[in-house]
A and B are shown apart, each in its own frame.
Chain A
């Protein structure tokens, strides 16, 4: 079951004269509709999932505007979707999480970029970099450079984001080039407001279909020999057109005085953190009235040589504020300055770190270094009274600003040191983990018990909730190679290991990539390995979106395409299905798969519905049924505090958030004992683990019969009566 987005959908319907209040990614969605987009697609992933999630539930808006919506099975399909804009004057937008999604999309993206587009083509990527990121730390910028697609990095302010989306389509059409809009995690989630416009129906759409297909035009194919001309066209025609558009429409912004000795060139997405630190240093204010001349690059590729040259001319030094490695912008600006023979000193990664997120601390440190360099260098003239040229800050003011920042950093360090000293040992981390009652946890419990019994095997992990199996208490997994890539990543491992490696894959990864890259390849090569497919019914880690194999139902988009049937179609024979909560059965099946004399791929489909989705569906339904007086049995687990001796073996085999510890009530014992709190959803894992691992007899399942019927009460009365006759009362003593 997918989440409901009633309020967000209402936001998408706003017209001119209304104010939109909401998160960045929804502002982007609204901007797409305001731009007359004809089709939208993509692959879910934080932080951009909501773009698709909300549109999926907006059938009426889509129908009215004639927008086609495609739930792509991976990012390559999403990039390929944009091919409609190669031949037809239709605007299209796709979205995915970057860098990982862009990697998957790379092939289609290159071909799209080579042929070029006539309808605006926009790619909205969530730049998953820094705190809160869940993927490898690389820059989307590299793809923009190599494929000659334009990259927008808007200031994280809703009107600017919306304007960049709207202008992005125009830029794409003016230069026949796809455009990437890059939003960092906090920008995707930033709540703000902008003045809405009316939605615009696309000129070419599902409501206004073209009568004829495009005429045959070999030049639109990414196929030699025209690819050679396309490569030249990218740099001789499309790029100059883009640069001209950027200048004409003032996509980049100038902040602060036009001149002055020093300047800053900043990626749009970093402007707010820069301004915040400049404000703290007394060089700007809450309205962005910076005393330092600043060029805000809402477009980070291409750069206009003219714009950069004009900005730097007359400045003694500029600082390039560019997050992540390599320093693409700094290199490009350096080249522009050199070719223009400007002597402006170029700073960037010498003051700021080459890699890592530019947090306020990092920004302050870099700014302080840069500002200090401007005041101590003898080349910087210090005219009488320290008056700088034009409207720029004086040398003395820069120096004092640097001192303010340095002092702030010193104070910060002393606070950190003080707390660290008081804590003595660092606090334990708290990474995300499987939800209470998650169906994937029992599989890792089974794997851990099997490991204790028969020794370790190589485990190829994957992307998805099951990647939490790499955290304590399971700590399983030797590599992660990408979404749906676990089986492929174990192919050569199996040839150098005596024991078969085990690959873990979710149903999300299976449909994203795993079926072809992993299973078909293993079948083709007769690889001898074990694959566990976690069949929880959704793409859960990205927000429980439906998959091809999701159960078809009223609300969802699932098609019930069977994983098992697809495996059989590839000729696999050793296929077992297990209920994930049956720990003993999972353990035995996995053991059998590892030891089997049969050669070839052995697949275990581990069935268990995502508990987050299940609870979302079941909880209100059960509450309603109980309120109506229906007989409902609620289950949860309990640990007998008199029997638990506090060794906590159970926790080391479960890690469930609702299985925790509490002080022992026994005056003779000092260590805390295990305890199941009221978040327990009664998934049954505790009992299964207690049995599978021969843990202890402390666990009990509690069945609460709500609204019991006469038969329930009769049975209970008889049982209680007989028990009393058998001495239950004495046992109470």
Chain B
């Protein structure tokens, strides 16, 4: 006779509010009750709102006749959790960070898909946490880590994530409950039974087939047919080909030729390697194809968009899909279409009238004739573009940037690399674009230009530019950039140079 079990099975569920963690915990509880176990489940759902991190905790143990009611704990004890079921990667890692997982004890079943936190989403640069690092932590924290992209399985199975997770839990065979007991709980609960059961089976199959080690990666974008530009070294040749394709589409072959001319000039310089040149090729192509009103209209008219939108919006065959664009060109963007000789006085007038920051809100339905024709007219201005004020201004900026890069590359290729990357802060539209432009000018005039004229340029110029670029993307108000630039100005190395 086997001795009765004296410790309960302890299961912790990490979830985001509103995504079905409660339903999942409910199924497990129901299955345990139906299987004759004594079960306790608690949660801290708090407010009814969505997306906050939350947990559910379940303990279950076989009832023993003649014994009093088991005293089950309401709080998970770190390191003594048998199973952690996590619906999101960062939340699983968060619990690992609180010491919840034990390498001797815990079976971890975690979704590797991400739901980004506000901090990650609102960062101006790339604020996303490194998924690979988190996966590595999880793999070493648990006794057995079952990691898979359950979102991908859910999409294929057209079932809720909670059902997939339940199937995965059943397949892991760590509960004192049979898979059939869990299936029965889904039926008993009675809501969307068919979808939930098919989700359960999908999750079950994915885990029991052992497909868990292969974490579904982001599908690579379809290979485009770009012909490498053979005259450049390996990396640059690929990027330059992308650049040429984009700029030909943006303007014409001659314009793409100008792009190649710029690259050739740099390629001929002694200290410019493939890494530096390919980065220049990348940023230059982006900056030369600035999204002016004409470009936006051109992109919005691509017929491929409708098919894509229809698929993304899960429209059914036979549904009619309309796309209504929200645009709000500002005074400078509209006047930017005029030739410089006309645009400049008009801009002065607009400033005088207090209309410099004005903008015209437009909604344009591109899937209907009238909206289509309006954008078609704008896109047709492509040939006119080189005569516009906006194009003219962009050329001035490009010359300025390329000149600085060239001069810097001669003295300090590392700094040139950073200066090239700094071009990315000039992006976006409206106020965002102006802010990026201002930040770039501040970095150029405070750090780069003095270094180029100084007898002894600072040895850490590359690092200074890097720090400034990161700061420029810290906050939209530019406070971090101001702080960083003044901190650099006060650095001893600078004072020393001044003394010299």
Contacts and interface: CB of A to CB of B under 8 A. Distances in A.
Contact of A191 (B41, B49, B53, B90): B41
Contact of A189 (B43, B117, B318, B320): B43
Nearest to A729: B303
B121 interface: yes
A16 interface: no
Contacts of B39: 191-192
B224 to A, nearest CB: 8
Contact of A669 (B286, B302, B361): B286
Contact of A134 (B47, B99, B296): B47
Interface stretch (B65-73, B343-351, B402-410): B65-73
A564 B48 CA distance: 27
Nearest to A412: B99
B464 interface: no
B327 interface: yes
Interface in B214-228: 218, 221, 224
A276 B324 CA distance: 59
B233 interface: no
Contacts of A642: 299, 302
A465 B46 CA distance: 12
Interface in B102-138: 102, 115-126, 128-129, 133, 136-137
Given A691-B326, A697-B326, A713-B320, A726 B309 contact: no
Contacts of A665: 221
B143 interface: no
A254 to B, nearest CB: 14
B340 interface: no
Interface in B40-56: 40-54
Nearest to A671: B126
B288 to A, nearest CB: 10
Contacts of B123: 648
A276 B17 CA distance: 28
A419 B116 CA distance: 20
Interface in B448-473: none
A157 B44 contact: no
A678 interface: yes
A189 B96 contact: no
B149 to A, nearest CB: 14
B122 A191 contact: no
Interface string A466-496: 0010011100000000000000000000000
Contact of A731 (B141, B363, B379, B424): B379
Interface string A491-515: 0000000000000000000000000
A76 B303 CA distance: 63
Contact of A46 (B47, B136, B291, B427): B47
B121 A660 contact: yes
A185 B428 contact: no
Interface in A579-600: 584
Contacts, number: 351
B326 A540 contact: no
Given A661-B121, A702-B309, A432 B97 contact: no
B70 A423 contact: no
A645 B427 contact: yes
B321 A702 contact: yes
Contacts of A678: 312-314
A432 B369 contact: no
A696 B327 CA distance: 7
Q: What range describes how many residues of B lie at the interface? A: 35 or more
Contact of A704 (B57, B68, B90, B313): B313
A690 B327 CA distance: 8
Interface string B423-447: 0100111111000100000000000
B313 A638 contact: yes
Interface string A619-658: 0000000000000000010101011011111011001010
A396 to B, nearest CB: 23
B40 A192 contact: yes
A360 interface: yes
Contact of A186 (B75, B321, B372): B75
B352 interface: no
B491 interface: no
Interface in B357-387: 359, 361, 363, 367-369, 372-373, 376, 379
B369 A722 contact: yes
B372 A723 contact: yes
A211 interface: no
A703 B33 contact: no
Contacts of B129: 427-428
A651 to B, nearest CB: 5
A376 interface: no
A695 B48 contact: no
A471 B118 contact: yes
Given A428-B118, A431-B52, A668-B242, A695 B299 contact: no
Interface stretch (A86-94, A283-291, A527-535): A283-291
Interface in B258-292: 282, 285-286, 291
B116 to A, nearest CB: 5
Interface stretch (A221-229, A302-310, A332-340, A433-441): A433-441
Interface of A: 21, 46-47, 131-134, 156-157, 159, 185-187, 189-193, 271-273, 275-277, 280, 285-288, 359-361, 408, 411-413, 415-416, 419-420, 422-423, 426-436, 465, 468, 471-473, 540-544, 584, 612, 636, 638, 640, 642-643, 645-649, 651-652, 655, 657, 659-661, 663, 665, 667-672, 678, 686-687, 690-691, 693-697, 699-708, 712-713, 716, 718-719, 722-723, 726-729, 731-732
8 contacts: A187-B42, A189-B44, A427-B90, A428-B120, A638-B309, A651-B121, A697-B326, A731-B302
Closest 10 CB pairs of A and B: A132-B44, A432-B52, A732-B303, A428-B119, A360-B77, A276-B73, A191-B41, A647-B428, A731-B301, A696-B429
